[in-house]
A and B are shown apart, each in its own frame.
Chain A
């Protein structure tokens, strides 16, 4: 038996673009596509129960973060599977919970934030720690949600991109964790 561990194909189907650093020790379920330069820390949970999840480039998904594509209780699956699309340069911090139908670019979900189903994050949104968005809504660009009372404010520019941190993690995470390798294209 080879020493490299393999994902169980019956449970999940993870397509990793080359350049992404995807730790093996995270929970995957369903059909997941991960873009280049994305870093997924160990113990993240990406659950594509109801339909596929497509994660863009340069995202940072930290441990205990949950990205879940699940049908709300009581609804039945229609003909089309709901696809959850996550854009580029997003940050999902520790223990954040995202069930949004669509996540744009440059958003930050801080630690322990909760984004429920039906919410749509556009660009540059910051959902603060311990804040939860439950009602279906479209969050405008560059909105910051923070505090105990869930104040809203608009910032003038999008949150800073985490390129430096991503580079650092791309260098050191492979030293400590098993990674899911991108599948090599089969020569015809």
Chain B
């Protein structure tokens, strides 16, 4: 049984926005279809001056570093928090819709040695992917509806299939293939659990509501308030 809980995230004090705690209870009966989620995430504010909003709705922090931005494709409604490094200079990076890339993550295309030299391969990230803080994604392909926890190291040329989950602080050795609906944790990562069949809907709801609750304000309010008075700048 998977419980998707949302913790209070306080963007004003730069403390871990979008940090849900996913607690996994292994039920002895093996019934994995029940999933509960708290219905509403709290609002998170971002100052207008710090973020660039593109035509397709991507919200990219000015504190992030996008090298080779001509090779980076953000498909729409992607949130890129501050401190993220996306290395588009090494190879093309394509990120799907409604992704959330939390602060200090590093998205880096993997390289492959050939007999004739070395090449960096393009990195494709699917839709509705959540990448936790400080994670290093060196994978070849990340599927859709994937949850990557905080502080993970995804090794070179890993393949993460759709609807999988990588727990916090895991290290995926190079060239690991993570099957769908699997939970991997530990160092080196091992298959430690399964996700419910509703994961696709859960991740879709989660990333979409992250995007909706990421609200632009002109000036940061002195204290984040619970959604009663939101300063929305148009």
Contacts and interface: CB of A to CB of B under 8 A. Distances in A.
Given A95-B136, A164-B113, A176-B68, A148 B187 contact: yes
Contacts of A168: 111, 117-120
Nearest to A160: B113
Nearest to A25: B65
A172 B117 CA distance: 14
Interface of A is mostly: loop
B153 A112 contact: yes
Interface in B172-196: 186-188
Interface in B115-140: 117-120, 134, 136, 138
Which one of B117, B136, B188 has the greatest number of beta carbons of chain A within 10 Å? B136
Nearest to B151: A112
Interface string B101-120: 00010101001010001111
B7 interface: no
Interface of B: 65, 67-68, 85, 87, 89-90, 104, 106, 108, 111, 113, 117-120, 134, 136, 138, 151, 153, 155, 169, 171, 186-188
A147 B153 contact: no
B118 A165 contact: yes
Interface in A1-53: 25, 42-43
Interface in A148-188: 148, 164-165, 167-168, 172-173, 175-177
A147 B188 contact: yes
Contacts of B87: 63
A129 interface: yes
A94 B152 CA distance: 12
Contact of A63 (B106, B111, B169): B106
A130 B153 contact: yes
B106 A42 contact: no
A146 B155 CA distance: 14
Contact of A172 (B90, B187, B188): B90
A177 to B, nearest CB: 7
Given A148-B187, A165-B111, A177 B67 contact: yes
Given A175-B89, A176-B89, A130 B136 contact: no
A74 B68 CA distance: 43
A110 B187 CA distance: 13
Contacts of A112: 136, 151, 153
Given A95-B106, A148-B187, A42 B65 contact: yes
